[in-house]
Structure 1
Amino acid sequence: MRDDEKFEIIRALDLLPHISGASWAMLWFRVNGVKNPSKDEFREKTVEYFSKIVPLLESFEGKKEFEDINHYMKNRFEEEKKLIMSGDNSEVEKRYQRYLDYG
């Protein structure tokens, strides 16, 4: 599969961990009055909300012409979850620190 064929999904999976995952996690902690979640708590909640995109990732399943992109999306999704949990997603880590500073 060529890079231009997966450009949009690459971009989405670059943005969704911190846009949907961390933003919704911040909202959850704020509404629940949790001022100082641990990094692990924040990462777990981020993965929980990031995982809400699974139905989108599965929306092309069962169609032969989408096999390659489906395989790529599943692998990339799992890799993104690992990056979040290990603290290697710098955007999620920035949002965690921002929440502690301004939450």
Structure 2
Amino acid sequence: MRNDERFEIQRAFDLMPHVIGASWTAVWFRMKGIKKPTREEFRGKTIEYLRLVEPVFDSYPKEGEFAEINKYIEFRKNEEYEKIKAGENKEIETRYDRYVDYG
């Protein structure tokens, strides 16, 4: 698969973790009155919210010309979850720091 064929999916996975996951997570902790969640709690809740959009990840047909992009989506989804869990997604870590500093 050429890079230009997966560009839009790459871009979505670059943005979704912090735009969807961390944003909804920050609001959740704020509404619950939890000012200092642990990093692990914040990361876990971020993944929880990302899992809510997984039906979008499975929306392409499973056969034919979509097989390669579906494989890439599955790979990238799992990679993003692992990066978040390990603290390797810099945007999530920045959102966590911002939340505990300014909650």
Gaps of 5+ in 2: none
SS at match of 1:34: coil
Runs of 4 or more, structure 1, over 6 Å off, are: none
CA shift digits 1:49-75 (9 cap, x unpaired): 111221001000323110000000001
SS at match of 1:61: coil
- 2:56 is aligned to 56
Residue range with higher mean Cα deviation, 61-70 or 81-90: 61-70
Letter in 2 for 1:78: N
For residues 62 and 80 of structure 1, what CA distance do their matches in structure 2 show?
Answer: 22
The alignment-based identity, stated in percent, is 50
TM-score (norm 1): 0.97
TM-score (norm 2): 0.97
- 2:5 is aligned to 5
CA shift digits 1:7-56 (9 cap, x unpaired): 00000001100110000000100011000000000000000011122100
Gaps of 5+ in 1: none
Are 1:25 and 2:13 an aligned pair?
no
